[in-house]
Amino acid sequence: MFYMGGLLLDEVYLQAPRPVLRALLGVLGVDGGSYYYRYYRLICFVLRALLGVLVGVWFWGTYTFWLKNCTSAAIDFSKEVFPALLSELKSLVVFLRESKGGRLGFPTSLLSDREQGGLSRAAAAVRLVSGRVVVVVVLEFCSFTTVNKTVEGTVFIDVKAPIGTTDDDFICATLDWWPPEKCDYGSCSWGLAGILNLDLSRNILLNAVKAFSPLKIRMGGTLQDKVVYGIDDNQQPCTSFVKNTSEMFGFARGCLPMNRWDELNSFFQIAGVKVIFGLNALTGRTIDSNGEAVGAWNYTNVESFIRYTVRKNYTIHGWELGNELCGSGVGTRVSANQYAVDTAALRSVVQNAYENVDSKPLIIAPGGFYDSDWFKEYINKTTKSLDVVTHHIYNLGPGVDDHLVEKILNPSVLDGESGTLSGLHNIIKSSSTSAVAWVGEAGGAYNSGHNLVTNAFVFSFWYLDQLGMASKYDTKTYCRQSLVGGNYGLLNTTNFEPNPDYYSALLWHRLMGRNVLSTSFTGTQKIRSYTHCAKQSKGITLLLINLDKNTTVQAKLAFNGTMTLRRKIRSRTSHHKHKIRKTTVIKLPKGTDAKIRREEYHLTAKDRNLQSQTMLLNGNILSVNSSGTIPPLEPVHVNSAKPITVAPLSIVFAHMPDVAVAACKAQP
């Protein structure tokens, strides 16, 4: 502190006019030429000491303020702030030692012109570096300390009627064709996670899939339209994908051997998977000078493959035609009119192949990025041939983006995808089609995602918000890219241990029912809120996502419509069920019995590190045991009369089994 005070004094001396210093010395009783220099060192010593004390008092006061007002988890002061300050001071000392003539503490009149030049440079250094010290102190406190505040808010839930419905098995994940040689930005993140080489014998993989019972798995991806099926009528060798930079997407075509198809289906049957298989839609076409794939689809190999599947009694939930060929396409594109013709052809192939099978697979397409004009034309031309309209979502941009975390925590970015979801919803509503909407593939950040972002805790903010938003717009199924593979897998690519989003998906699957209720939140714009009728249980389930790093939210509930508390509530004269028939906003009665409780699931990151791959449920680490068993997801029980507490940067599922509402009485 003494040294810092000296630096401040030296800076004042070097910048102040000599008359000002003489006047200051005069006030102190020192005057005259020789006395000016004789007492200068003594005066400097005293002033250094005084300024050092003042700096110390300021520093201690700031530190005390931090202790009183900042969260203890935000920073280790001794390990983070002090080292930063010490580093700045060391850089100052080194600079001054290297400065020519930099002898602070002496009057400039005693120095030569050359020395004064060096001292001027030293003075500039003092001004620069001492300013940096002050800035560092401010920045260290601003960036490392988080003043945690609490705000109250209200969740408004309209319980009169659902605004949308989902499939019971809404959660879906993908398996992709990428071989180990697939690399993005210098990182090869797929390993042995592709369809052709995934190790299906691992017990942890089986347990992870069976936990959903059933889980929809969509098989497809970028190389889907370069796959041939290794059946008897295929005259060419059945080999895996080979890297070839001159080919579209950097790989020559690959082949699916039927023995591998047999292995996959054996696993799917044991694990209870609903299979959606993406078919090659480019066979027989040529790509013109404009980059458009033209000509009729040659489905000969596809038809043989489908018939083989039927003969083997493999259950396929849906056949999907093509991958990202709609609109402007990725790699190439097919016109909406031609795609409609090809969809009708696929339906005919499936109908013929499944002629003697009672349950026929869904016809699904186009599996690409939403383009309103293209989708409108296609949907209107496939009213008799299409069951499911699929589109893909990568709204966060490329995986190499260093600002993905900021995007994920930005409500405006999250809201951006609502235009796509609502646009497709409106096209379907205005058409005579009976087809429904699915998100067929969604990885958030394209080109395999971003390690320690799209496979870390922070991505659950994006993922769960996507699930909630898609449900609001009547999306029936949401397929996450990927189950395993890349940097956005629900499971680790090498050891198959669940990443945080796996547990988020499993909680959604177990808690969120089919009927979607209109939900809004007032109090802060950083809370995302979604409500569904409870899954396989009474009541409702509320999802709250807190994007704010400094604010704890106390959320009260309000319902618009008719609701019943299933259990008895206490009154002065009797015990009875409490039913409210108002159509205005109401709150839970103050006299609610303490026995009426809700189940809460609080999700946080380990050590509050958003880029951690370890998730905590109600403060406990979620991890598989040595046998690869998925851990139980147990709630905490809270008095329903109390507000729901949502900590900063956390996620809460709240299941309220005792709240009966009209919108949940007749779930489809």
Residue linked to tokens 């320690």 = 452
Angle at 12 between CA 7 and CA 15, to 5 degrees: 120
Q: What angle do CA 362, 368, 370 make, to 5 degrees?
A: 110
Closest CA to 512 of 631, 654, 619, 659: 654
**What DSSP assignment string belongs to 469-530?**
HHHHTT--EEEES-SBSTTS-SB-TTT-PBPHHHHHHHHHHHHEEEEEEEEEEES-TTEEEE
Under a CB-based contact definition with an 8 Å cutoff, are residues 568 and 575 in contact?
Answer: yes
Which amino acid, residue 602?
A: H
List alpha helices for 237-320, DSSP H: 258-271, 300-311
Residue with tokens 């870390």: 456
Q: How many beta carbons lie within 10 A of that of residue 355, not counting itself?
A: 9
| Beta-bridge partner residues of 229 | 256
Beta bridge partners of 552: 150
- Note the maximum CA span of the chain: 116
- What does the alpha-carbon distance between residue 173 and residue 170 come to, in Å, rounded to a whole number? 10
**Could you tell me the CA-to-CA distances from 512 to 124, 458, 468, 541 in Å, in that order?**
64, 21, 10, 6
Residue 97: DSSP 8-state: H
Angle subtended by helix axes 77-98 and 113-144, to nearest 10: 170
For the annotated catalytic residues, the residue numbers are: 324, 441
Q: Which residues pair with 319 in a beta bridge?
A: 277, 363
User: How many angstroms separate the CA atoms of 179 and 549, rounded?
Assistant: 39
How far apart, in Å, are the Cα atoms of 148 and each of 136, 288, 552, 646, 649?
Answer: 22, 60, 7, 12, 12
Q: Which two tokens stand for residue 288?
A: 């013109």
Structure tokens at 529: 């809120």
How far are the Cα atoms of 227, 254, 525 from residue 291, in angstroms, in the given order? 20, 22, 44
CA-based nearest residue to 309, from 340, 276, 283, 336: 276
